[in-house]
Amino acid sequence: MKIALMMENSQAPKNAVVLDQLNTVAGPLGHDVFNVGMSDENDHHLTYIHLGIMASLLINSKAVDFVVTGCGTGQGAMMSLNLHPGVLCGYCLEPSDAFLFNQINNGNALALAFAKGFGWGAELNVRYIFEKAFTGERGAGYPLERKEPQVRNAGILNDVKSAVLKDNYLETLTSIDQELVKTAVSGERFQQCFFEGCKDDAISDYVRSLIS
């Protein structure tokens, strides 16, 4: 699995801690981690609004399989990601949230709170969240006897989102303020992850047109 970590301006100083915990969990499982957001407060400026655009590009182009993100509370990042087609982002404060999201919702992104409740032992909580998010069979259901309706409802939710967001994906991107999109794709590490993994030529051409 390819996992992208992206952090915005308010919590960028915590990037090294979060990245270390994600690599600690993902590495032994054979997952690749790409640090595509802000790495510190001096990096190119991103808000949680940019994170949604970045996640949508990475997920819809199949450059990555999963996105880990967040902000101070995690709420803004979750709402930003869920605005976009193809992205199903859960909200995670503790390991049980990650486990249940993995088992029941089987989405492709998690938004964490990197300020609220991020105190003593925070790095342990983040590590345990990642352990529950990336181990075990996804979509297995919890409790197990609820698997069938949970899988059915998750599929219906995806169908409803697709029906609501009827526009072509690239049309949704071009309808956004293009300066927002340009900023979202301006990072060197984002561009490397995106272009190396992108499997959609039309999306790739669009991003190249923004940065050329």
Percent of the chain whose pLDDT exceeds 70: 100
Q: Residue 5: pLDDT band by 50, 70, 90 thresholds?
A: very high
Closest CA to 90 of 80, 72, 71, 105: 105
Q: What is the pTM of this model?
A: 0.93
- In single-letter form, the type of residue at position 14 comes to K
pLDDT at 68 over 90: yes
pLDDT at 53: 98
Number of structural domains (the chain) is 1
pLDDT at 192: 98
Cis ω before 13 (30° cut-off from 0): no
Across residues 34-59, what is the average pLDDT? 97
Q: What is the mean pLDDT of the chain?
A: 94
Across residues 38-50, what is the average pLDDT? 96
User: Domain holding 51: CATH number?
Assistant: 3.40.1400.10
Strand partners of residue 92:
112
DSSP 45: P
pLDDT at 159: 86
Distance of alpha carbon 108 from alpha carbon 59, whole angstroms:
8
Percent of the chain whose pLDDT exceeds 90: 83
Q: Residue 165: pLDDT band by 50, 70, 90 thresholds?
A: confident
Provide the domain limits for residue 18.
2-211
Write the CB contacts of 115 (distance below 8 Å, at least 6 apart in sequence): 10, 11, 71, 72, 73
Distance of alpha carbon 38 from alpha carbon 7, whole angstroms:
5
pLDDT tens per residue, range 95-150: 999 999 999 999 999 999 999 999 999 999 999 999 999 998 888 888 888 889 98
What are the C-alpha distances in Å from 98 to residues 10, 68, 103? Answer: 23, 11, 9
Contact present, 69 and 55 (Cβ < 8 Å): yes
Across residues 23-35, what is the average pLDDT? 97
